[in-house]
Amino acid sequence: MNGIEGASAIGEIVGGAGAAKAIEPGSEGKKGHERPDNCLNCGAALQGDYCHECGQKGHLHRTLGGLLHDMLHGVLHLDGKFWRTLPALIWRPGRLTRDYIEGKRARFISPIAIYLFTVVAMFALVVSVDISDQQINTIREPAATIEQQRERVAELEANLEELENADFPGVSGAMTGVRAELDLAQLQLEAWETGGDPAAVQRSGITFGESGIGMFDEQIAKAEENPGLYLYKVQTAAYKLSWLLIPLSLPFLWLLFPISRRFKLYDHAVFVTYSISFMMLLAIIVNLMTRTVGWQDWFALLLVFIPPIHIYRHFRGTYGLGRLRSLAGTFYLSIISIITLSLFLALMLTLGVIS
């Protein structure tokens, strides 16, 4: 099951749960409407439109019109909360986080919900790129003669120069493939010119050293033999264990306020969850723009400058600090983000080998 099918399955499950709730069994009143004195879910006496014990709506209906109303209300209500949360996450992240921590939550999607949304979207984007073994392992036989090999190198250099001046969707990936093939062809040409064996020159995109642990080295050998499967397992592990980014980040953020009575670990968790959600959302937007518009170099600059600016505004707004402390915190969190991401990637690469 790929990411898109997984997201579709989640939507079907949620939709099924909503439909099941709408046709919940109970005593039928006039025209399918029910006005019970007690909550049909928990049995508590109703004191208003909603049960004060479990939160279920007191007035239920069993009509097709009512079912359609519930479906539309659910979609539009979620959509409204989403479009209130998204601008706040982008432009007022500190206020959004502070409001959620202080209990003002009805208007916005919870940090975990938007985090899961960005994870599913990111995974769907990643698996939409078909990575074959031929793309991972650039292995091509050398030309029959040294003159033909020189012609091949010249042709690849011309192709690369043409791509550098081109502007179309996917040009970045094309340049990567041509550059890898050019590197291999140049190595083979050098082998020709130095009297070596050009057929023995191969360039692989995934290579590992030996660990000295027998069972682990066996798995490493399998990963090198089938790099496509290895990358698939890494992607799957990253998708399933993406929540680990939150606990990996928490200890580093806690070190900024180790003895604070005002800021609890819960506050840090909300901050981290919203912050990671924004970074994934930014990566998704930049990736989509480079695929459709091109200009990958310009859009790549967004990944350099926007994250520290957002961290500064988010950190200062959430914790109510001054400019200098916020700048120092931004520098610290930027370094910690790189460390945390490196730890996560190392763990995913290791799990990909083990599995």
What is the DSSP pairing of strand 60-61 with strand 33-34? Answer: antiparallel
Encode pLDDT of 25-77 as tens digits: 443 444 545 567 888 888 888 888 788 888 787 777 777 776 776 776 666 56
Distance CA 355, CA 351 (A): 6
* Same-domain pairing of 220 and 197: no
Mean pLDDT of 123-146: 59
* Same-domain pairing of 70 and 179: no
pLDDT for res 139: 46
pLDDT band at 168 (very low <50, low <70, confident <90, very high): low
Which phi and psi angles does 204 have, rounded to 5°? -110, 140
Contact 102, 317 (CB under 8 A): no
- Counting residues of the chain whose pLDDT is more than 70, the rounded percentage is 66
* Same-domain pairing of 228 and 328: yes
β-sheet bridge partners, residue 38 = 45
CA atoms within 13 A on the CB side of 111: 25
* Same-domain pairing of 349 and 220: yes
Distance CA 315, CA 93 (A): 8
In a domain, 119, yes or no: no
Encode pLDDT of 206-227 as tens digits: 445 555 555 656 666 666 666 6
- Nearest C-alpha neighbor of 62 from the set 13, 39, 40, 29: 29
Identify residue 39 by its one-letter amino acid code: C
* Same-domain pairing of 155 and 284: no
- Counting residues of the chain whose pLDDT is more than 90, the rounded percentage is 28
Domains held by the chain: number:
3
CA atoms within 13 A on the CB side of 84: 14
In a domain, 195, yes or no: yes
In a domain, 134, yes or no: no
* Same-domain pairing of 226 and 330: yes
Which position has the higher pLDDT, 110 or 132? 110
In a domain, 131, yes or no: no
In a domain, 99, yes or no: no
Contact 278, 115 (CB under 8 A): no
In a domain, 100, yes or no: no
Q: What are the percentages of helix, strand and coil residues in the chain, rounded to 5?
A: 70, 5, 25
* Same-domain pairing of 341 and 293: yes
Quick one: how far is CA 172 from the chain centroid?
Answer: 21
pLDDT for res 170: 54
pLDDT for res 93: 96
* Same-domain pairing of 189 and 218: no
12-16, 249-253, 313-317 — which is least confidently predicted? 12-16
Which of 93, 115, 131 terminates a domain? The answer is 93
* Residue-by-residue DSSP string for 83-137: HHHHHHHHH-HHHHHHHHHTT--TTS--HHHHHHHHHHHHHHHHHTS---HHHHE
Which of 59, 93, 127 terminates a domain? The answer is 93
Q: Which range in 149-153, 224-228, 247-251, 294-298 is most confidently predicted, on average pLDDT?
A: 247-251
Encode pLDDT of 304-352 as tens digits: 899 999 999 999 999 999 999 999 999 999 999 999 999 998 888 888 7
Distance CA 316, CA 95 (A): 10
Domain range for 191 is: 140-201
What does pLDDT average to over the chain? 76
pTM reported for the whole predicted model? 0.63
Unique residue bearing structure tokens 């310009």: 298
Mean pLDDT of 255-279: 92
Encode pLDDT of 59-68 as tens digits: 777 777 767 7
Please list, residue by residue across 136-173, b when 16 or more beta carbons sit within 10 angstroms of its beta carbon and e when fewer do: bbbebebbeeeeebeebbeebeebeeebeeeeeeebbe
